[in-house]
Amino acid sequence: MTPQTRKQLNELHIGLIKISQAWAMKKPYDKDRATELRHEAALINHAHYVENIPAYRRLSEEADLLHVADVDLIKKELMSTDDIFKSYDQTWLDDHDYEKMNAWIGSIFHDRININTAGVRTIDQWVDRLTESGITPVYSSGTTGRFSFIPRCEMSWKLFTTAPVSYSAPVWADLGVIPLYQKVLMGPLLKLLHPDTFSMLLKKRGLPGFAGVFMNFRKGNMGIQLVGQELSHLFRKTCFLYDTDLSASAIRIISRGIKNDADLKILESFQKETIEKKDENYMKLIDFMKRATLAGEKVFLFGAPYQLKELSQVMIRENVQIPLKKKSCVFFGGGWKSFEGEKIERHELVEMVSDRLNVPDELIVEGYSMTEVNGLMVRCHHGRFHIPPVIEPVILDEALEPQEGCDLKGPFGFIDPFAVSYPGFIISGDNVRMRDEICPCGMHGPALTEVGRAQGREIKGCGGIMASVQA
């Protein structure tokens, strides 16, 4: 990317973050301007992807769309599914062939990847080598154990970690988590400061008076773990459920089965930390929250829904209730995924948590995002996940054609202007209902009112497949 294009893109990003900050403060915002900025950035990204990302170039060539001046064409022809981030051959991981993994990830990245793979035997080692070379591969694991890797360059990584912080701060202020004087200051600060400076200040100042409790691993590049790790920088005192690194290899082995002694060893150590010591770890969090409360500190609790359920169950079993200090809050997200069998209704979960920690409903907040997107959607009290103006949602129909309208249902896609190093025109695996209107909560713009996994195709007859099988 030329320095001039980079500068141009940077200005567009800043513009979008500024608009998103106004949006987050529930002010009417200039929707047309936001669209204009997003489209301008998307077209720059398109040209950049065509030039530098082989997989995207091939898609554009096949669609005869190397040069595009209309974002609608991108939406119609050039959106990739999130499967692009797992379009590698699984046997390469099985065979420890990380040269091939290099070549593959280079095909969806804006630079070719030639890191040294000598001695690399595990995904974790490969991820470490990539990180050392300035590429941050954020990964997520599906229930089948087929990992998605999203390669972020330095610029993309910075946007990934900075942008959501700068526009979600007003949301927290609105909930009363941030003290009144800071809330009053926030408006002018947002207006005056560069988003990077604002985010830096926020991180530096943090959330005084709060202790952060994260039901995460302290290290590891998995999507939701990273969100927790990034958030943890806002707190002076933190406690993690697992004080270790999350092993990608272990997660893959769990899903795909033990193949050799090395797998067994990895799994044994993972098992020890997550299964054998699970109760001990939860008790450690409970203890930490007790101490923070005694010290007059508020608690910020973060995790996935199944973990909140587990924590509540441990507290019920141990007959523990901790009336957290007023304005303490709980933030959860990530869905139930492979813990679908454990799923309970949202209101039941909120009741459980509220009962054990004395946190009111309105301070038990749910977020929605995905590893591939550089944005965070927070659920308001009217059950809507509000989409920040940094993201352009695209709701598709069954045939994956983009739809137009203010009340749409279908697969959720998005144009992400902040995705610089990988194709950011993505169709997710989620089916949503999106309404574009002023929400009773006061937020403007589009919001998701329903979110669920896209249904598998309907098979009407005896021809079909019961489960995921290789052929």
Partner 1 sequence: MLKFCRESGLLSEANQVIRVPHLVKGALVFPPELDKKEIEAAFKEKEDDCTYVKTRSAQILREPVIDRQHMTFTGEYIYQVLPLVNPMELIEADIDNLTETLYALSFSEVLSYLDMLLKAITENASLVDYIRDVSLQTAEHPDPYHLGAFEAFPFLLSPENAEASVDNDLSAWGRKGRDFLDGWVEIDAGVFPGISSLIGQGLFKNEFPSGIPFQKASIRAMPTRQLHITAGNAPAIPLISMLRAILTKSAAVIKSPYGATLPGALIALAAYVAAPDHPITRNLSIVYWPGGDASIEDPFFFPNAFDRIVVWGAPQAVDAVRKKAKFTRTVCFNPRYGFSFIGKEAFEENRLREAAILASIDSMIWNQKACIASQVHYVEGTIDQAEDYAKILQDVLAEWDQAAPNFIKPEARGNLKRMKRGKYMSASWYRNRQNGDVTSSVVVMNEPFDMLDHPMCRLVVVRPVSHLNDTLPFIHHAVSSIGIYPEKRRLELRDGIAARGVSNVLPLGQVERIFGGMPHDGMMVLTDLVDWKNG
**Binding residues with partner 1: total (CB under 8 A):** 39
404 CB-contact burial (10 Å; exposed 0-12 / middle 13-18 / buried 19+): exposed
**Angle 146-152-155 from CA coordinates, rounded to 5°:** 170
Q: Which is nearer to partner 1, 324 or 408 (CB)?
A: 408
Q: Which is nearer to partner 1, 104 or 210 (CB)?
A: 104
Q: Are strands 385-386 and 392-395 parallel, antiparallel or unpaired?
A: unpaired
Query: Residue 455 Cβ, how far from partner 1 at the closest point, in Å?
Result: 9
Query: Residue 340 Cβ, how far from partner 1 at the closest point, in Å?
Result: 15
Residue 389 DSSP code: T
The only residue of 9, 53, 396, 419 in contact with partner 1, by rule CB under 8 A: 396
262 CB-contact burial (10 Å; exposed 0-12 / middle 13-18 / buried 19+): middle
Binders in 106-125 for partner 1, by CB under 8 A? 107
Beta bridge partners of 137: 151
Tell me the two tokens of residue 72: 């609608």
Q: Which is nearer to partner 1, 86 or 298 (CB)?
A: 86
Query: Residue 53 Cβ, how far from partner 1 at the closest point, in Å?
Result: 12
The only residue of 90, 182, 244, 313 in contact with partner 1, by rule CB under 8 A: 90
The only residue of 69, 192, 275, 469 in contact with partner 1, by rule CB under 8 A: 469
Query: Residue 401 Cβ, how far from partner 1 at the closest point, in Å?
Result: 8
Q: Which is nearer to partner 1, 3 or 461 (CB)?
A: 461
For residues 9 and 133, give the distance between their C-alpha atoms in angstroms, rounded to a whole number: 24
The only residue of 21, 80, 247, 249 in contact with partner 1, by rule CB under 8 A: 80
Cβ contacts of 4 within 8 Å, gap of 6 or more: none
Choose the stretch contacting partner 1; rule: CB under 8 A; options: 200-208, 306-314, 381-389, 392-400: 392-400
Cβ contacts of 298 within 8 Å, gap of 6 or more: 209, 210, 211, 292, 324, 325, 326, 327, 328, 329
Q: Which is nearer to partner 1, 319 or 470 (CB)?
A: 470
Query: Residue 197 Cβ, how far from partner 1 at the closest point, in Å?
Result: 38
For residues 32 and 274, give the distance between their C-alpha atoms in angstroms, rounded to a whole number: 48
Q: Which is nearer to partner 1, 204 or 457 (CB)?
A: 457
Q: State the number of CA atoms in the 13 A half-sphere of 143 facing the CB.
A: 11
Task: Kindly state whether residue 296 participates in binding partner 1, applying the rule CB under 8 A.
Answer: no
- Output the DSSP codes for 132-187: HTT-EEEEEE-TTS-EEEEEE-HHHHHHHHHHHHHHHHHHHHHHT-S-HHHHHHHH
Binding-residue pattern over the window 125 to 164 for partner 1, x denoting contact by CB under 8 A: ----------------------------------------
The only residue of 35, 87, 112, 294 in contact with partner 1, by rule CB under 8 A: 87
Q: Which is nearer to partner 1, 8 or 81 (CB)?
A: 81
Task: Kindly state whether residue 52 participates in binding partner 1, applying the rule CB under 8 A.
Answer: no
For residues 282 and 268, give the distance between their C-alpha atoms in angstroms, rounded to a whole number: 20
Task: Kindly state whether residue 427 participates in binding partner 1, applying the rule CB under 8 A.
Answer: yes
Question: Which residues make up the interface to partner 1 (CB under 8 A)?
Answer: 55, 58-59, 79-84, 86-87, 89-91, 107, 396-400, 409, 411, 427, 456-471
